[in-house]
Structure 1
Amino acid sequence: MDTNVTEIADGIYRLSTYVPEIAPPAGFVFNQFLVKGDEPLLFHTGPRRMFPLVQAAVAKVMKPSDLRWISFGHVEADECGAMNDWLALAPRAEVVHGRTACFVSLNDLADRAPRPLADGEVLDIGGKHLRWFDTPHVPHGWEAGVLHEETSGTLLCGDLFTQVGNGPALTSGDIVGPAIAGEDMFHASSLAPSSGATVRRLAELKPQRLALMHGPSFAGDAAAALNALAADFDRRVGVR
C-alpha cells in the first residue's frame, strides 16, 4: 500500500490509501486530511496499522512532530485508531472533538486529555478557522460531528458519502449516486427521522468542497449534493 498526497484546497491536503482487498473488486480508500496553519490539524488518524503510512505522508508536507491538533468524525478504528501514536509522536498535540465524544470515550481513551468543542464552536489554528458541528447518529454514533474549515469552505465530512473504488483525489462529478450504492451495500448509516434534517443543516453552510473519508473529495455545488443525500436518507426512513 502507498498513501498519496494531494492538496485539495489552499493548505488542505488529502492523504489517501487504497486497499483493494476491502469491498472487492472495487476496493476502498481511507483518507485523512491535513490542515496547515500555525497549529496544524489532522482530521482522521487512520487505523493503528496504517500509522507508518500516514506519518510518511504527513512528512511530505510538514514535520509530523509539529502536529498540534488531532480530530475525527466519530470514535471508530479507521477514524482514530492511531490517535495515541500521534500523541506520542507530537508532544504538543491534543485531541479536539465534540463534548459528547470527550465525555463518553476520549477522556478515557486518549493518552492526553482532549479539548471539547461545543456545537458551533470555532477552533482557530492560525490562518484557518474550523467550526465544529454536532451530527448525532449521522452517520454513526451519537458522538458524531464534522468540521467546517471556513476560510476555504471545506467541509470535513467524515463517513458521509461513503463509496467504494479508487477515484480521483478531487472531482466535480456525481458523488451522490455512488454514496447511495455504498449505503445499499454497507447499510452503515444510523438512519432516523432526524437524519435528513441533520444533513440539510450542513447544506445551509454552502461549503465549496466536501472532504470525504471514503471516496474522492468534491468541488462544486456541495449544498445540492448534501440536500440530495438528505433526501435519500428521508426516503429510506419514510420521512415525507
Structure 2
Amino acid sequence: MEVGYWDTALKIKEKIQMCTGIPVSNQKLIYFGQVLPDDHDVDKCAIINDSHIDLIVHSGYVKQPPVIRLQLKTGPRSGVHLPVDVKDNVLWLKERLQKSEGKAVDKLVIHATGAELCDQQLLGEVPDNCEIDVSFRQYPATAGIRWAKNKVEVTLWSYRCGTKIPVEVNGRDKVGKLRKEVERLQKLIEFNLPEDGYFFIHKQDVMEEDKSFFWHGVSENDTIEIFPGRVTYGSR
C-alpha cells in the first residue's frame, strides 16, 4: 500500500478499509512490536519505504466483497452506474473509458468531489455511489510549437532542506530529464536530496517522468516539489 508522508495511522486504517472492507474500528496496526496511535503520522512513527506493518483484525468481523459503485457522468445527458473493484486505480478507469469513448488516455480528465483525480489514485478512496465527472482535455493546436521554442522558468523546492531554486525547462522535455538536472545541481551547490529516493510533485499531483512538462500542464513560475520516497505502480 502506498501512503503519504503525513498520513496518520487512522488515515492508513481508512485506506485499508477502502481496499479490504475491514472497518477501522476492527483494526489494530503493529510496527516493530508497538501499536500505532491513530493520531501519529508516518514521520512520527518512523515508517520508511518498504516497511512491514502487522494488521490485527478483531474477532467478530465478517468480510464484505471489496466492490464499490461509481456514478460516471461522461456528458450533459449521459451517465452510467459502474461497479468497480476498490483496488482499481484511476488509470485503469481511463483505459476502460478509452475503449468505450474512443479518446486517448492522456486526454481524459476524471473529477470527483470537486477535485481532479491522479492516475495512481485508488478508486476505493472515492466515496461509494459518488458522481464522477469525465471530461476531455483539449490542447491548443499551437501549444506544441510555443513550448518547443520557449523555455519556462519554474521553482524547484525541497521541503527537507527548505531550498528553492529557479530552473528553466522545455515544455516538450520529459520530466525524467529534470532528475539529471537536479543531480547536477546537487554537485554544484548545497542542495541535499533525500537519500532513499525522491519523486516530483506539481500542484499536488505526482509527476510521471516519462511524460512531458506540457503534458503535466506546467507553466511559467510554477513550483515543482521534490518529495522523498519512491512511486510504485501496480499492474493488472
Same fold (TM over 0.5): no
TM-score (norm 2): 0.23
**Rg bigger for which structure?**
2
Greater percentage in helix: 1
